[in-house]
Amino acid sequence: MISQHEILSGVIVDDDDPLTLAELCASCAITGEAVITLVEHGIVETVSGVDVAGGRRVSRNSVLRVQTALRLQRDLNVNVEGAALALDLLEEIKRLRRMAAGLEKDSAESQ
């Protein structure tokens, strides 16, 4: 039971903290077969490097991509290929919106 005043600290998600495939399964409540499919479609990014068990590791960012893909599948009936495309497009859209917001601000202020 967390007290009202306790402040929780977290870690910024980046590529320095990869997970095993088994950890990804538990994190997103999906089967090993599902993970393989997601890797094949580029939704999950494997990272290279030596690890203890000799198995593959995936980037922490993959958890976020998989969660989004699962929501798209559950709520909008999107299949894996569509979800992979949607993820790429969503990331590009976010990047462009940030750029546009910066440009709009510059243009508004120089008038």
Binding site for other proteins (CB under 8 A): 2, 4-14, 26-29, 60, 63-64, 67-68, 71-72, 74-76, 86, 90, 94, 97-99, 101-102, 105-106, 109-110
Query: Which residue type sits at 8?
Result: L
Instruction: Name which of 32 and 102 has its Cβ closer to other proteins.
Output: 102
Q: What is the DSSP letter of 6?
A: P
Instruction: Report the distance separating Cα 28 and Cα 40, nearest Å.
Output: 17
Beta-carbon count within 10 A of 101 CB:
10
CB of 68 to other proteins, least distance (A): 5
Choose among 34, 48, 46: nearest CA to 83: 34
Beta-carbon count within 10 A of 58 CB:
23
CB of 80 to other proteins, least distance (A): 16
Instruction: Name which of 23 and 39 has its Cβ closer to other proteins.
Output: 23
CB of 39 to other proteins, least distance (A): 18
CB of 84 to other proteins, least distance (A): 14
